[in-house]
Amino acid sequence: MQALGAQLQAKKKTVALVPTMGCLHRGHRCLIEVAQERAQVVVVSVFVNPVQFGPGEDFDKYPRTEAEDIAMCKKLGVNILFMPSAGEMFPPYFSSGVEERQCSTGLCGAFRPGHFRGVATVVLMLFNIVRPQIAIFGQKDIQQAAMVSKMIVDFFVPVAVFIMPTIRELDGLALSSRNRYLSEEERKVASQLFVALNAAYQVAKPGVKAKVLTDIVAAHLARFSLFRVQYIELVDSAFMSPIEAVLERLDCMLIAAAYLGTTRLIDNIRILPCHK
């Protein structure tokens, strides 16, 4: 892959990278299709990155569907599918790490210590291996996309990031490889996370306090006893820092994480600035 990346760069090809952990679904497909519109060569990476999972998280049971992923990439006409092994990426002598400290400290970062460090490290490695001009991420993991964007600025990485909207099931549940962990009963209520965010979104306009919005989300979720809320926050979209109220000229997001049984769901909804 490193040799191919160098060759493509020498040939001045536009390369787009879609980094994934595999178990590809419609959400990933959307990123791949956008990559194909934007670049001459599309590289999809499938790597279940061990260093972004904390102790006790689901690294071992994270769904791996290699054959289906290969078939989907073939069908979509992906040019290069990069599936390194954990040993190739993190040999025993590996001793470095990338830490972004603005976008990645709150929200999921506060509950998953080391997670974003693991993500930033592997994403920078993938950028160096593949040498893309473009990288495509999904809004579902907005904190990850924000952190990567900030890391790119801090390290002068010549990659343009595109963030694509969240692809959902018909009832609103954001597609995720982890949705397959949900029991039938949990799956029935899972979409309520998005319904709750939407209920708050309906009243979001400049001046409305964060607490008003987060209370609406919390009250809605409280009606479904299976949910255990981890966080609900109003943050600015670029740096993921908490804000006290919806501002007229700032793009912000209502963002939440909640458990259904042992499955952790995240979702967010963007509140665009309204210019009068």
Residues that bind ligand AMP (CB under 6 A): 20-21, 27-28, 30-31, 137-138, 140-141, 164, 166-167, 174-177
Burial class (CB in 10 A: 0-12, 13-18, 19+), 259: middle
At its nearest, how many Å lie between ligand AMP and the CB of residue 167? 4
- What are the helix and strand counts (H, E) for the chain? 10, 8
User: Catalytic residue at 115?
Assistant: no
Strand partners, 161: 135
Q: What is the side-by-side order of every strand in the sheet holding 15-20?
A: 80-82, 41-46, 15-20, 134-138, 160-164
Task: For residue 151, give every residue at least 6 positions away whose Cβ sits within 8 Å of its Cβ, in sequence order, or none.
Answer: 98, 100, 120, 123, 124, 157
Element (H, E) at 249: none
At its nearest, how many Å lie between ligand AMP and the CB of residue 93? 26
Burial class (CB in 10 A: 0-12, 13-18, 19+), 268: buried
For residues 199 and 240, the answer to whether their CB atoms sit within 8 Å is no
Closest to ligand AMP by CB, 29 vs 247, is: 29
The DSSP call for residue 18 is E
CA of 90: how far to CAs of 87, 107, 155, in Å? 5, 27, 21
Using DSSP's 3-state secondary structure scheme, residue 15 falls into strand
Which residues are known catalytic residues?
28
